[in-house]
Amino acid sequence: MNKLKLTLTATIENGKIKYKSDKSEEKIIKFKEENNFKEVEISFEIIDHPQYYQHKYFHGYVLPQIAMGMGESNVDYLCEMVLKQQLLFVPIESERDIPKRHIGKCRTVSKVQYLDGEEIIITIGYVPSRSTLTFKEYKEFILKCEEIRDGLSDWMIPLEELDEMGIIREKAMNETHS
């Protein structure tokens, strides 16, 4: 356990906090013992929304299986430089064409051109951050990634995870699940 941070998942039921894991109480006791007399910050974050489940489904059941099927050990590279580049790249004429919601969060793609022997770098497009995608855009990205995953042969999801995967996928693909 990380001595500086404790993250637990819970629901609020009739005004009481109900932890998802049976070991949560033990973890809290151990955390308090290891950090006696230290100042802590306690925050509550609602995670029961479609974007949370899109992120959880993509990173838990789509991206790792694509990496497994492609034999790629660097999932960050696979996500950023392969999947997002292939599926989310938007060609533009200039940086002014990048929508406001993506500015500062997207990756610009440039190419080098030579004009009169001088090197000029020209922005030819951008790849948006998944955090700035709309629900529908992220859903379309996930569906395209599922197609890639399903076309690969060397991947699997353990049988014991299939039910949970199905529940999370349903929540990730249904904008009004809650």
Judgement on whether residues 82 and 131 belong to the same structural domain of the protein: yes
Do both 68 and 5 map to the same domain? Answer: no
Question: 110 and 25: one domain?
Answer: no
**Residue 168, helix vs strand vs coil:** helix
Amino acid at 125: G
Q: Are residues 10 and 56 in the same domain?
A: no
Instruction: Provide the domain limits for residue 21.
Output: 1-45
> 61 with 138, same domain?
yes
pTM of the predicted model, to two decimals? 0.74
The kind and range of the H/E element at 163 are helix 162-173
Share of the chain above pLDDT 70, in %: 96
pLDDT for residue 1:
52
Residue 20 pLDDT level (bands cut at 50, 70, 90): confident
In a shared domain, residues 64 and 147: yes
Q: Which of 11, 56, 20 is nearest to 173 (CA)?
A: 56
Position 45 pLDDT exceeds 80: no
Residue 177 has pLDDT above 70, yes or no: no
Tell which wins on pLDDT, 6 or 57.
57
| pLDDT per residue as tens digits for the range 75-122 | 999 999 999 999 999 999 999 999 999 999 999 999 999 999 999 999
Question: Can you state the percent helix, strand and coil of the chain, rounding each to 5?
Answer: 50, 15, 35
Residue 124 domain flag: yes
Q: Is 178 part of a structural domain of the chain?
A: no
